[in-house]
Structure 1
Amino acid sequence: MSTIGNGVGVMAEDEVFWRKDGSSFSVLAYSYPQIKEGKVVGAVVTFTDNTERMETLKRIEYLSRHDQLTGLKNRMSFDEELVSIEAVIPTSIIVGDVNSLKLTNDIFGHTTGDQLLKQVAAVLQNHCPSWASVYRIGGDEFVIILPHSDEQFANSLIEKILEDFEGQEFLDGRQTIALGAATRTTDGESISEIFDIAENHMYREKALRLRETQRLQLNRLLSLLFKKSPREEHHAEQVQRHALFIGEILGLSKETLSLLGRAAYHHDIGKLTLNESLICTSERDGADQRAYQSHVSAGYRILNTFEETVDLSEYVLHHHEWYNGEGYLKGLKGNEIPYLSRILRIAEIWEREALDRSDPERIKTILNQVSGIEADPQMVERIIVSL
């Protein structure tokens, strides 16, 4: 009744009403003073069901400390936990960074990237002991805090997590995530320093396994493409074989032939971004044809992602250019088209027209038909002379 005593309105949000059945619900109460001739003569009290408001406040509180995508605790919770465990010895910290998030987003879209993050979070959560917590503290960075846990326990947990990734359908298997750990064992070490050490160990592991991780990613991308459209594997092998045959006729060096062969095998990797119907049909309307043509730029992006294929990306980007400028994507013509891309164009013609199963006269006829239009006429002339 403080409102009557001092004439000041009061709000109370901890009131409870009870139902006949014994259940209760939260009530928001307001008390408003009633003043007459300058004196408080009474009060008006109102009650409002506070259930929805309390649920909203709880939801806001939860979201302020949890990652909305994965449900894990977020950076705010992590920072608070670091303070609370400053005196706990030993404490181990595991820092993880997802290796393939950017690649997944670029190739399959952010929805698939989000799914990857949720899968990673689930694996980490499944292996997290009851006394520990998992946090997502950045876009692709995760942390496990292990109070009262030594270095041996942290390292054994890392191995169990990686084994779990290996057994699931992840793009990179155990290379899906790079993990590093560190343990606080004395009062002379701050918990923040331990986090920095664990993060450095993670980045060192990431750097040491970069080439292995990228090779695994590239192989898995090719496997996904060949699984989506099995004929693409045969096509890649055939175009590679034809390109090397043409390259030898043109007198390429051993090193350039190797580069050409790799470019030929990977030339259609961008088709991984297309749906199966676009890959498997040759009858496409304007919109479908434009969508199909996007596989060239997609292949360029994919190959630029990996150290060992970045040197192929330019040739793949231009392998659908025509000598007369009527190809795609940029409409380059003549010598504007990279030399190896012009060879890839002839290799695809060779495969398309089944010239490996044709007699010399038919080969000459087909090549003369495309010479100066789709194919480099000087290359065509040298190939015909060699037949």
Structure 2
Amino acid sequence: MGENISVTKIKHLEKFMQNIPLNIFFKDTECKYIYASEICKNLNKHGDDWTIYGKTDLEIQPFPELGRQYYEEDKKLIQNGGSLCYTSVFPMEDKDYYYEIKKQAVADDNGNIIGIVGTVTDVTELMTMRNKMEEYYMTDPLTGLYNRKYLEAWKKVEAPIYPISFISCDCNELKHINDTYGHEYGDQLLCFVGELFRTYLPKNCCAIREGGGEFLIICNDTSEVKAKEIVDNLVNKAKHLYVKGHKLSIAYGMVTMNEENYDFNEAHRIADCIMYEAKRAMKKLQNQS
């Protein structure tokens, strides 16, 4: 009778666990799953007969890098104790899914670690909203390019891929168009610049509007020769863009740095100096024509 009650209680406990409003998992000291709620069990689909139980993340994760990360974390928890909390992104076909993962080592009454308990929370909606807000916060609304807030954030977490090239840019006709035709047409010129950069810059480059008609292009993994090709292409593509009869004219100044001489502030200063020299030369040539 007592044994039947014990079995019943165990079955009831399993039902409680299945219906708890939380995605939860347990692992043993070999980092193998001994219990998992539905979201965990559904991470890998191998048919109705497949089970997550008795397997590690190395075996069940559809993304091998995540599987290795989770497994190594589990081994450290089993060895050293403690807890972890972080957000993982799962790049699925339709969109990216974000899950907050919390896990903690569990010890018995003698302090011996007997396994891991963890929870998985879907935070996709929250992270998507946060990413959109950050993008909005760091984007110039007129040109659609990044703004100075993005540049400041980039400087704090920068991880240059060398060689890295910086291209300073300034719109030559912006003040004249603003003063002569009004800011509506000056804005149109800036929109053309934004479209030009978004369309023709390589993926390893990002363009930032620093203010007025000044822009900075940061190009990772870009040699001096490649940076010059990028500028030449931008100049060529801008030849057919006009605002109130004025061709879109941009002065460029570029500098390339390697790991041994890299300094952002110095690179920015040099690129600006070269750009202003080019701007003066273009104005002089225009006055002579």
Point out the structure with the larger helix share. Answer: 1
Q: Give, in angstroms, the shift of residue 87 of structure 1.
A: 4.4
Q: 1:190 aligns with which of 242, 258, 263?
A: 263
> Structure 1 vs Structure 2: percent identity of aligned residues?
29
Q: Superposition RMSD on alpha carbons, in Å? A: 3.1
Q: 1:200 aligns with which of 273, 283, 287?
A: 273
- 1:46-105 CA-to-partner distances (Å, cap 9, x unmatched) read xxxxx9998876554222111011111111112222344454321001110011111111
Point out the structure with the larger strand share. Answer: 2
Q: Give the alignment's TM-score, normalised by structure 2.
A: 0.52
> Is the counterpart of residue 157 in structure 1 residue 234 in structure 2?
no
Match in the other structure for 2:142: 69
Instruction: Tell which structure's C-alpha radius of gyration is larger.
Output: 1
Match in the other structure for 1:173: 247
Match in the other structure for 2:22: none
Match in the other structure for 1:90: 163
Q: Separation in 1 of the partners of 2:259 and 2:131?
A: 38
Q: Separation in 2 of the partners of 1:128 and 1:161?
A: 8
Is the Cα–Cα contact under 8 Å of residues 86 and 191 in structure 1 kept in the other structure? Answer: no
- 1:16-64 CA-to-partner distances (Å, cap 9, x unmatched) read xxxxxxxxxxxxxxxxxxxxxxxxxxxxxxxxxxx99988765542221
Q: 1:134 aligns with which of 168, 188, 207?
A: 207
Is the Cα–Cα contact under 8 Å of residues 171 and 214 in structure 2 kept in the other structure? Answer: yes
Is the Cα–Cα contact under 8 Å of residues 171 and 250 in structure 2 kept in the other structure? Answer: yes
> Is the counterpart of residue 209 in structure 1 residue 282 in structure 2?
yes
Q: Relative to 1, partners in 2 of residues 1:57 and 1:85: Cα closer, same or farther, differing over 3 Å?
A: closer
Match in the other structure for 1:105: 178
- Structure 2 gaps of 5+ residues are 1-123
Q: Relative to 1, partners in 2 of residues 1:199 and 1:129: Cα closer, same or farther, differing over 3 Å?
A: same
Report 1 or 2 for greater relative contact order, CA contacts < 8 Å, sequence distance ≥ 6: 2
Is the Cα–Cα contact under 8 Å of residues 192 and 241 in structure 2 kept in the other structure? Answer: no
Q: Separation in 1 of the partners of 2:235 and 2:267?
A: 22
Q: Give, in angstroms, the shift of residue 155 of structure 1.
A: 0.8
Q: Relative to 1, partners in 2 of residues 1:60 and 1:206: Cα closer, same or farther, differing over 3 Å?
A: same
Is the Cα–Cα contact under 8 Å of residues 139 and 150 in structure 2 kept in the other structure? Answer: yes
Q: Separation in 2 of the partners of 1:119 and 1:177?
A: 11
Amino acid at match of 1:119: F
Give the SS at the match of 1:144.
strand
Is the Cα–Cα contact under 8 Å of residues 160 and 220 in structure 2 kept in the other structure? Answer: no
Q: Give, in angstroms, the shift of residue 173 of structure 1.
A: 3.1
Q: Give, in angstroms, the shift of residue 212 of structure 1.
A: 2.4
Q: Give, in angstroms, the shift of residue 118 of structure 1.
A: 0.4
What is the count of residue pairs matched by the alignment? Answer: 170
Q: 2:190 aligns with which of 106, 114, 117?
A: 117
Kindly report structure 1 stretches of 4+ aligned residues shifted beyond 4 Å: 51-59
Q: Separation in 1 of the partners of 2:257 and 2:156?
A: 14
- Structure 1 gaps of 5+ residues are 1-50, 217-387
